[in-house]
């Protein structure tokens, strides 16, 4: 009986101790919350803006990174497109060049058809001695191609000049616009004789001298001038150009003016060399 009473007392004390301990914890928690609340508020006042700032910076960085990725993708795509554009431009330029060359060759063919009685050799211009009109230039045909000095050269619409020097694989052409170049010519409609005289100083005007028509002859702008039958080196009947502003000279005996060449001397790239020479035709 005594042992049971003792065990009961011990249980009672234990329950009381546990109750007191819980009450102590509850009280401590209550007072701790009241003490910690101001500190927590102070800390949140500082931490929350920092947290918001860090979140904003993180979002900004993420956005910039995405933008940079998109920009790199756009730049790479642009690089590919630029490559395609460059390729198309190069192809277009090549097509233009081929079309331009075809037009020039077609003009040479048409010119060849205008003078069917002569054997001709096509040649390409490979060097010039003038920065404006081609007063003298070099072509890629020479003695091994049957080219000789004093052969006539034509291109575009008509007479270019004459061969003055020949190498194995090249020839020098002196044009009718060169200083001290004289071509015996005539008015195609009447056969009246005149002289075409080269003058480098007239290059910028696109004209050359036309001299010594007889007085009283009516010559209109645009009248065709061709090589005459009395020329010692030039074959007869080759178109030289068109009369312009012919008027009576101060001596009242002759008329002079200008000639608009049938050939574009600023852009000669291919020519035809007539292999028959005037002196040999006359001998024949």
One-character DSSP codes across 68-131 = HHHHHHHHHHHHHHHHHHHHHHHHHHHHHHHHHHHHHHHHHHHHHHHSTTS-EEEEEEEEES-S
What is the C-alpha separation between 159 and 259, in angstroms, rounded? 13
Element containing residue 143 per DSSP (H, E)? none
Contact between 60 and 54 (Cβ < 8 Å): no
Task: Please give the average per-residue pLDDT across 13-39, as a whole number.
Answer: 61
What is the C-alpha separation between 169 and 65, in angstroms, rounded? 66
In the DSSP assignment, the letter for residue 39 is: H
DSSP alpha helix (H) spans, 115-247: none
- The residues spanned by each domain of the chain are 37-114, 119-277
User: To the nearest 10°, the Cα dihedral for 154, 159, 162, 166?
Assistant: -10
Neighbours of 167 (CB within 10 A): 13
The pLDDT of residue 12 is above 90:
no
What is the C-alpha separation between 185 and 243, in angstroms, rounded? 11
Q: Which two tokens stand for residue 210?
A: 């036309």
Element containing residue 280 per DSSP (H, E)? helix 278-283
The pLDDT of residue 244 is above 80:
yes
Question: Is the domain covering 119-277 a CATH 1.10.1840.10 domain?
Answer: no
Closest CA to 184 of 45, 278, 64: 278
Question: Which residues are CB-neighbours of 159 under 8 A, at least 6 positions away?
Answer: 152, 153, 176, 183, 227, 234, 238, 239, 240, 262, 263
Which range among 24-38, 68-82, 111-125 shows the weakest confidence by mean pLDDT? 24-38
The pLDDT of residue 31 is above 60:
no
Q: What angle do CA 147, 235, 138 make, to 5 degrees?
A: 35
The pLDDT of residue 95 is above 60:
no
Contact between 263 and 250 (Cβ < 8 Å): no
Q: Which two tokens stand for residue 175?
A: 């044009």
User: What pLDDT does 266 receive?
Assistant: 84
What is the C-alpha separation between 284 and 282, in angstroms, rounded? 5
150 three-class SS: coil
Closest CA to 268 of 99, 170, 149, 127: 127
User: What pLDDT does 133 receive?
Assistant: 62
User: What pLDDT does 175 receive?
Assistant: 92
Segment 58-92, tens digit of pLDDT: 677 777 777 877 777 888 888 777 777 766 666 66
Q: Name the one residue in this structure whose structure tokens are 């102070």.
A: 42
What is the C-alpha separation between 135 and 127, in angstroms, rounded? 11
Which range among 184-193, 216-225, 271-280 shows the weakest confidence by mean pLDDT? 271-280
Q: Name the one residue in this structure whose structure tokens are 């191609």.
A: 145
Maximum distance among all Cα pairs of the chain, rounded to whole angstroms: 175
């Amino acid at each position: 009986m005594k042992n049971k009473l003792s065990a009961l007392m011990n249980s009672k004390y234990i329950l009381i101790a546990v109750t007191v301990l819980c009450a102590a914890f509850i009280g401590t928690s209550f007072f701790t919350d009241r003490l910690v609340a101001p500190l927590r508020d102070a800390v949140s006042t500082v931490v929350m803006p920092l947290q918001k700032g860090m979140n904003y910076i993180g979002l900004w960085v993420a956005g910039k990174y995405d933008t940079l990725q998109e920009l790199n993708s756009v730049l790479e795509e642009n690089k590919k497109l630029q490559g395609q554009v460059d390729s198309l431009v190069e192809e277009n330029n090549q097509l233009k060049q081929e079309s331009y060359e075809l037009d020039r060759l077609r003009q040479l063919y048409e010119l060849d058809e205008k003078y069917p009685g002569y054997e001709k050799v096509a040649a390409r211009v490979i060097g010039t001695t003038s920065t404006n009109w081609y007063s003298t230039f070099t072509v890629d045909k020479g003695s091994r191609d049957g080219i000789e000095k004093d052969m006539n050269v034509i291109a575009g619409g008509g007479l270019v000049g004459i061969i003055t020097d020949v190498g194995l694989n090249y020839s020098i052409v002196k044009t009718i616009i060169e200083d001290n170049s004289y071509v015996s010519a005539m008015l195609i409609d009447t056969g009246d004789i005149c002289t075409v005289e080269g003058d480098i100083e007239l290059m910028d005007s696109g004209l050359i001298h036309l001299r010594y028509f007889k007085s009283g002859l009516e010559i209109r702008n645009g009248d065709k001038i061709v090589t005459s039958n009395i020329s010692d080196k030039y074959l007869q009947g080759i178109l030289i150009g068109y009369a312009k502003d012919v008027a009576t000279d101060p001596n009242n005996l002759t008329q002079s003016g200008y000639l608009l060449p049938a050939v574009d001397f600023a852009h000669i790239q291919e020519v035809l060399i007539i292999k028959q020479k005037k002196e040999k035709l006359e001998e024949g």
